[in-house]
Chains A and B, each alone.
Chain A
């Protein structure tokens, strides 16, 4: 039994839900993200948020998987602050939905001033509505700088409790800083551009299993919706205890996400 706390099922087929269920997935959370193209209007985001809060939970429930979501305008579409603020205005109406866990995945992409301005607006939105936060950190060469800028922005904002914020996509050069500042951290298992299952297992061995989880972030790019069970298998083959494997792939996400008061794992298949 496991939880995949970051996966973009809107980009995946129903077969993937079935395969995940067969591999033991009981619950997922799906942050709002860049769909591979820029939406041309706030209405486009309204439609997307409707998919995340209505369509995907039904699709997941067919296979006994509880579906939850996080809402935001992602940093890749935040370079136009006027447009981004129009999207932010429609988020509160969706926060009433029972499957919405908070604001995410917010953060930075290229570490620009406009991205930072909209990140700060999201932090205020989270504070105003007492929401938890899921943070996206930049890709590749931009990650280390962006991770520090994001954590500084949260600290300077001064309202959000680090224990209610997860900084995602950490790797060897950012994980220690994130954990030392009191945040939860996520490792994304990607074949090329983030952590492999092997490196994630290495990071657990070097940095511990507290406040740290794994996710597939499966989406429309090179990614694997079964990456979490593959990392569990890697840890098992190394001889790690079942309790350790369960902690990083079930107990930790359950503990963090249960702070929302909305996270559940008890969905019965509806097919």
Chain B
């Protein structure tokens, strides 16, 4: 027999009280990471156009759009959208973001 999801038993203020400092620290880590990328020596690949950073910036924008299911939508944004198997595995690992991701600014410039 299917049962209903157990609702979060906490009031909103209790959630903020309990988790704020932890997530304040995570935002600072993220800010410091982006600063670190900016301070790093430039290279031929121009790290500011790295698809992983583009995905991260896209995800950060998504957090502020006021819509629900942020975690799911961040994962969707970073997922390979293709549907067919690839010819051969190029490596064993994964990078964490889809290498074909384009930021909204780049997509705005497309014509077709």
Q: Closest residue of chain A to B51, judged by CB?
A: A141
- A residues contacting the other copy or chain, number (CB 8 A): 41
B88 touches A79 (CB 8 A): yes
**Alpha-carbon distance between A262 and B92 when the two chains are bound, in angstroms:** 33
- CA of A34 to CA of B91, assembled, Å: 14
Q: Kindly identify which residue among A109, A209, A239 contacts B89, using a CB–CB cutoff of 8 Å.
A: A109
User: Any chain B CB within 8 A of the CB of A48?
Assistant: no
Whether the Cβ atoms of A172 and B6 lie closer than 8 Å is no
**Does B111 sit within 8 A of A, measured CB to CB?**
no
In the complex, what residues of B have CB within 8 A of residue A114's CB? 88-89
Cβ of A238 and Cβ of B85 under 8 Å apart?
no
Residues of A within 8 A of B81 (CB): 145
Closest chain A residue to B93, Cβ basis: A139
Mark out the residues of chain A between 82 and 117 whose CB falls within 8 Å of any chain B CB in the assembled complex.
109-116
- Nearest B residue (CB) for A117: B85
Binary flags per residue of B70-112, CB closer than 8 Å to A gives 1, else 0: 0110011011111101111111111111110000000000000
Q: How far is the CB of A174 from chain B (nearest CB, A)?
A: 8
Contacts of A172 in B (CB 8 A): 69, 71-72, 75
Q: How far is the CB of B7 from chain A (nearest CB, A)?
A: 6
- Of B80, B85, B93, the contact of A144 (CB 8 Å cutoff): B80
Whether the Cβ atoms of A204 and B88 lie closer than 8 Å is no
Judge whether B94 and A208 touch: CB under 8 Å: no
- Residues on B with C-beta less than 8 A from A112 are 85-89
When the two chains form their complex, are residues A238 and B8 in contact, meaning their CB atoms are under 8 A apart?
yes
Chain A residues within 8 Å of B71, by CB:
171-172, 199, 202
Whether B9 sits at the interface, judged by CB under 8 Å, is: yes
Nearest first, the 10 A-B pairs at minimum CB distance are A239-B9, A110-B89, A173-B75, A172-B72, A140-B94, A139-B94, A144-B79, A208-B5, A112-B89, A172-B71
